[in-house]
Amino acid sequence: MDRHAAAVAIGATLASVVILIATVLVLASGRHEAIERARHTSANVAAALARDMVRNLEIYDLSLQAVVDGMSDPAILSLPVEIRHQVLFDRSTTAAYISGIYALDPLGHVTEARTRKMPGVDLSDRDYFAVHRDRADAGLFISKPYLSRLRNGTPSIALSRRIAKPDGGFGGVALIAINLGYFQQLVDDIRLGSHGAATIVQTDGFIVARNPRAAPADAPNVRGSPTFSRMLEAQSGSYDARSPIDGVEKIFTFSHVRGSNLIVVVAPAIDDVTAEWKHRSLIIGTLVIVVSSAFTAVVWLLVFAVRQRDAAQAKLIEIADTDGLTGVANRRRLDSALDELWTQAMKSGAPIALLFVDADHFKLYNDTHGHETGDRALRFVADCLRRRARRERDVVARYGGEEFVVVLADSDKAQAREIAEAIRADVASREMSTTRTELPPLTVSIGFVVCRPSQGDEIDDMMRLADKALYESKAQGRNRVTDASARVPQPNQVDVES
């Protein structure tokens, strides 16, 4: 009996030791997973923010290029002032954070301005002016942050391009002044815990925006940081290091903004990332050590912790795949869903319909009724799309701005046209709107194509056809549906050409 009791005691002791060792290993793994999960989420946020900035900078650059082209053309410069102003600035963007578009002469004085006011300010000492004066190949240049002399000390940066004379000489500088508030609001929306930071920094180390906030005069230049050089060695990446600003150990995840000198940095603090893990570890560890006989209860706690982790991870994935304004899939989710449906259709031979849906005159709609009404209108359009594309395998996604994409699996041309016309009619009639009396009239144009991936149709080609059909709907008067399916190459056509 004594020997049996000793064996039971030894067995229980060994079981407790085994449980303790297993628990330590699991908790160590949980810490690693928490850090890697935060790293992956931060990478997604940084990449999404960089893509959004690329799109906006490209739009701003188009306006800037129009000014450069006009100021380089003697024919335009000889036009009367009013006509010349229209030629130079009518195509310019009216985004909220654009505070001014200017043309400077070779001495740094403002000669043209979108606001028609010509302030007598010498800007020849600005870095963007010196760069374009000294380098003909500077291209699009993004300045260091500065306090604007033209707008009462507003913190700003400038997007600029060189204006060339007909003989190639320096003719001045065209610039768009962007309030730093644009960049600040981007990082203000990111929540990284009490010690984390989201930053937009230039490749020379100047901080453009930071959450938590730092005034431009107080924001240090981080170029001298021993870890900053790692951000210059790759387009994107991640590493753990101590912050040169507050000394906190963080997970630095970065992504360069293509075509610019800007870098988006998302850096949650390791202590914040592991705070929940530490709390859970303390509870589990205490229970395992003190209540060794409650092995089963500890196992259930571990199972519950894993379930919590999986649920949190699933929620993060859902957030990463959803457009925040409309609640439909975002561009990232659209790409993955298209790849999956395309692969299935190649095996089954089933057709796929692609619908490009764009709100008509949406910029004018926004300018007339306000951005809040414009946001409600986009949500309403998304509701109309979801109502018609409601099968499990159908996909509704916001493609960008006011443009949406609907993917209909196993749908022929008749079905695709029926759904497209139903969407167009729903939006035009506003019958689905719960605030019909408050939502101003709105219409959409739609282009669609029906293809068969099993016959060699490629995703990019079909997307281009649908997009072209959309713009044909626009050209034909808007509020209509255009079918591009007849332009899909047939298998016999491919064989003849090959």
- Per-residue pLDDT reduced to its tens digit, 422-433: 999 999 987 655
Whether the predicted pLDDT of 119 surpasses 50: yes
Task: Report yes or no: 182 and 97 within 8 Å, Cβ to Cβ.
Answer: yes
- Which residues, including other chains, have CB under 8 Å from residue 175's CB and lie 6 or more apart? 64, 101, 102, 103, 104, 128, 158, 159, 160, 161
Query: Could you tell me which residue, 154 or 309, shows the higher pLDDT?
Result: 154
CA distances to 214, 278, 295, 309, 384 from 28, in Å: 36, 10, 19, 15, 48
Q: How far is the C-alpha of 309 from the C-alpha of 273, rounded, in Å?
A: 13
> 111-125, 145-159, 338-352, 442-456: which has the minimum mean pLDDT?
111-125
Residue 280: pLDDT band with limits 50, 70, 90: confident
| CATH 3.30.70.270 in the chain, residue ranges | 331-497
Residue 491's pLDDT is 66
How many CB atoms lie under 10 A from the CB of residue 409? 19
Query: Could you tell me which residue, 92 or 283, shows the higher pLDDT?
Result: 283
Selecting from 3.30.450.20, 3.40.50.2300, 3.40.640.10, 3.40.50.12280, what CATH number does the domain 1-315 have? 3.30.450.20
Averaged over 360-377, what is the pLDDT?
Answer: 92
Q: How far is the C-alpha of 250 from the C-alpha of 238, rounded, in Å?
A: 10
Whether the predicted pLDDT of 483 surpasses 60: yes
Residue 13's pLDDT is 67
Residue 468's pLDDT is 94
Whether the predicted pLDDT of 387 surpasses 60: yes
* Burial grade of 484 (CB within 10 A; 0-12, 13-18, 19 or more): buried
Nearest to 99, CA basis, from 34, 159, 13, 40: 159
pTM (whole model) above 0.85: no
Whether the predicted pLDDT of 334 surpasses 60: yes
Task: Report yes or no: 197 and 270 within 8 Å, Cβ to Cβ.
Answer: no
Task: Report yes or no: 245 and 180 within 8 Å, Cβ to Cβ.
Answer: no
Strand partners for 173: 104, 162
Residue 136 one-letter amino acid:
A
List the alpha helices (DSSP H) in 370-412.
371-388
Averaged over 447-457, what is the pLDDT?
Answer: 89
Whether the predicted pLDDT of 314 surpasses 80: no
Whether the predicted pLDDT of 497 surpasses 60: no
Residue 1's pLDDT is 43
Selecting from 3.30.70.270, 3.30.460.20, 3.20.20.70, 1.10.3720.10, what CATH number does the domain 331-497 have? 3.30.70.270
Residue 218's pLDDT is 53
Both tokens of 439, joined, read 């939502």
Both tokens of 209, joined, read 């925006």
Query: Could you tell me which residue, 347 or 215, shows the higher pLDDT?
Result: 347
Strand partners for 255: 236, 264
The residue whose two tokens read 């959004």 is 52
Task: Report yes or no: 322 and 315 within 8 Å, Cβ to Cβ.
Answer: no
Structure letter (DSSP) for residue 145: P
Average model confidence (pLDDT) across the chain = 84
Half-sphere CA count of 8, side-chain side, radius 13 A:
6
Buried b / exposed e along 272-284 (16+ C-beta atoms within 10 A): bbbeebeebbeeb
Averaged over 167-173, what is the pLDDT?
Answer: 89
* Percentage of the chain lying above the pLDDT 90 cut: 38
Both tokens of 102, joined, read 């200017």
pLDDT in tens, 123-136: 999 999 999 999 99
Q: How far is the C-alpha of 441 from the C-alpha of 21, rounded, in Å?
A: 67
Residue 60's pLDDT is 86
Whether the predicted pLDDT of 465 surpasses 80: yes
pLDDT in tens, 1-48: 445 544 445 656 667 777 778 888 888 888 889 899 989 999 999 999
Whether the predicted pLDDT of 93 surpasses 60: no
Whether the predicted pLDDT of 177 surpasses 80: yes
Buried b / exposed e along 36-46 (16+ C-beta atoms within 10 A): eebbbbbbbbb
Task: Report yes or no: 199 and 210 within 8 Å, Cβ to Cβ.
Answer: yes
How many CB atoms lie under 10 A from the CB of residue 63? 22
Residue 374's pLDDT is 92
Whether the predicted pLDDT of 308 surpasses 50: yes
Q: How far is the C-alpha of 349 from the C-alpha of 241, rounded, in Å?
A: 51
pLDDT in tens, 228-264: 888 988 899 999 988 888 888 999 999 999 988 899 9
Residue 66's pLDDT is 85
How many CB atoms lie under 10 A from the CB of residue 58? 13
Residue 287: pLDDT band with limits 50, 70, 90: confident
Task: Report yes or no: 88 and 103 within 8 Å, Cβ to Cβ.
Answer: yes
Averaged over 94-102, what is the pLDDT?
Answer: 76
Averaged over 301-321, what is the pLDDT?
Answer: 68
Averaged over 319-330, what is the pLDDT?
Answer: 88
Nearest to 117, CA basis, from 133, 100, 105, 129: 100
The DSSP-derived string for 381-443 is HHHHHHHHS-STT-EEEEEETTEEEEEEET--HHHHHHHHHHHHHHHHHTTT-TTTTTSPP--
Query: Could you tell me which residue, 482 or 488, shows the higher pLDDT?
Result: 482
Residue 386's pLDDT is 93
Query: Could you tell me which residue, 403 or 154, shows the higher pLDDT?
Result: 403
Whether the predicted pLDDT of 300 surpasses 50: no
Residue 113's pLDDT is 83
Residue 75: pLDDT band with limits 50, 70, 90: confident
